[in-house]
Amino acid sequence: MANSKAYAWVPSLYLGEALPFSAVMLISVIMFKELGLTDGQITVYTGWLGLPWVIKPIWSPIIDNLKTKRWWIVTMQFLMGVALALVAFTLPTDFWLQGTLAIFMLIAFASATHDISADGFYIIGLPDKDQELYVGVRNTFYRIGMVIGQGGLVLLAGYMQDGHFGEAMQSVSASWMVIFFILGGLMFLLGLYHAFILPKVETVVHERFDFGEQLREFGRTLKVFITKPHLISALCFILLFRLPEGLLTKIVPLFLTRDTAEGGLAMSDVDFGLIYGTLGVIGLLLGGIVGGWAVSKWGLKKCLWPLVLCITLPDIVYVYLSYFPTDNLWLIGSCVCIEQIGYGLGFAAYTLYLVTFSRGERSTAVFSICTAGQYLGGVMIPSMVSGLISENIGYQSFFWVVMAFCLVTFAVTACVKIEDHKD
């Protein structure tokens, strides 16, 4: 049976989905900060790296109709392993910024491609009953991958810079070279493991891709999407619900690690990896679990507003920390954990709305358009402008701006239409 050893590949598959994403979207932020870039430069440069996740519905038909999803998974993991190692080789060069950004974009495209093929493989590799059984496992190991990336590896970089591994590893460039060698090695090993362990569940291997037919298919999917009921309110909700969190995504790590003279909390990489990269991710996971349970018990319509308040109001903790900076890790950790639990709670409701909206004809393709839209409006664009805003008005005023944008989340929630039944 194809699913007889699902425990052997589901955890590792989603570990492999998380590691490159954390490298591109968060580890790069910390590294660029330590290499001297400003908040505005970091958020604009790394914000563009989110583009592949926005436009991945355009090339997802290629993965469905060329080769097999198993082939794509293994190939992308090997490619990302090599590319992550190339980041390490590029760091000591004179063109380190241009080189690393170009490689990060390659990794981002490979990672988005891997996401498409991994999610598709999960669906065809497991029967419906086992998909439900393993959904908690896949989510947990995805979060473990995030902990390893933005927690453990950032913490390791801090230890190296503190001299725990000798003087040769103390420089910023040398420590991050080691981190990306490790990341590259992990992805290469995952590719090697999956080349042997992933079951061969696809009977048809496609060798040709009909571009014209796929363009027509995309047109038919787009027609289904734009003829959905209450489209305008749904689009506003999809695009703008995550706006406050999108603004916070890249600024919070910078705020936590910038020097006090720059308005930050001056956390070391070691402390940041422990607090934000570990406790924060665990809080996010817990919030997601509780949010999913609440919606399954009481229904999305009843839970929506309480969970919306959970994703918005805890953002006030960063206003507090910006006005009353502290080096008390317990206090900082508590604030981060509260905000991340709230984010997990609210995001669970948001995800379930996307699932509900996508139901019906071409549900998988419609859902991919929805997730692209939420990433564009809720992550990519806000994160790109966030650094430019914080540079010009300071962290204190920036966090008040974030709180003001919570009103946008309230407005789109008030307008969205939710069916009156449990989901």
Evaluate whether 89 touches 173 at the Cβ level (below 8 Å): no
Residue 193 and residue 120: Cα distance in Å, rounded?
19
Phi, psi of 242, rounded to the nearest 5 degrees: -90, 15
Evaluate whether 123 touches 3 at the Cβ level (below 8 Å): no
- pLDDT tens per residue, range 116-165: 888 888 877 877 677 666 766 777 888 888 888 888 899 999 888 887 77
What pLDDT score does 210 carry? 66
350 Cβ contact list (under 8 Å, min separation 6): 241, 242, 311, 374
Provide the token pair at 323: 């006005």
Does position 38 have pLDDT exceeding 60, yes or no?
A: yes
Q: Using alpha carbons, select from 192, 193, 169, 198 the residue that is nearest to residue 181.
A: 169
Q: Using alpha carbons, select from 248, 200, 276, 256 the residue that is nearest to residue 387.
A: 248
Q: Average the pLDDT over 264-274 and give the result.
A: 90
Q: Average the pLDDT over 7-19 and give the result.
A: 90
Amino acid, single-letter form, for residue 354: L
What pLDDT score does 2 carry? 44
Q: How many Å separate Cα 221 from the centre of its chain?
A: 25
Residue 246 and residue 50: Cα distance in Å, rounded?
12
Residue 270 and residue 156: Cα distance in Å, rounded?
7
What DSSP character marks residue 313? G
The strand ranges marked E within 350-410 are none
What pLDDT score does 131 carry? 67
219 pLDDT band (50/70/90 cuts)? confident
What are the angstrom distances between the C-alpha of 1 and each of 16, 67, 200? Answer: 24, 22, 10
422 pLDDT band (50/70/90 cuts)? very low
Evaluate whether 332 touches 268 at the Cβ level (below 8 Å): no
**What is the share, in percent, of the chain residues with pLDDT greater than 90?**
50
Amino acid, single-letter form, for residue 1: M
- pLDDT tens per residue, range 52-75: 988 888 877 777 777 888 999 999
Amino acid, single-letter form, for residue 85: A
Name beta bridge partners: 140. Answer: none
Query: What is the model's pTM?
Result: 0.86
Residue 246 and residue 230: Cα distance in Å, rounded?
25
Residue 65 and residue 60: Cα distance in Å, rounded?
9
What are the angstrom distances between the C-alpha of 195 and each of 40, 74, 76? Answer: 41, 6, 11
Q: Average the pLDDT over 296-315 and give the result.
A: 90
Residue 19 and residue 421: Cα distance in Å, rounded?
37
What pLDDT score does 113 carry? 92
Q: Which helix (DSSP H) or strand (DSSP E) does residue 279 occupy?
A: none
Name beta bridge partners: 67. Answer: 206
Local structure of 141: helix, strand or coil: helix
- pLDDT tens per residue, range 76-91: 999 999 999 999 999 9
Amino acid, single-letter form, for residue 405: F
Structural domains of the chain, ranges and CATH numbers in brackets: 1-209 (1.20.1250.20), 218-423 (1.20.1250.20)
What pLDDT score does 195 carry? 93
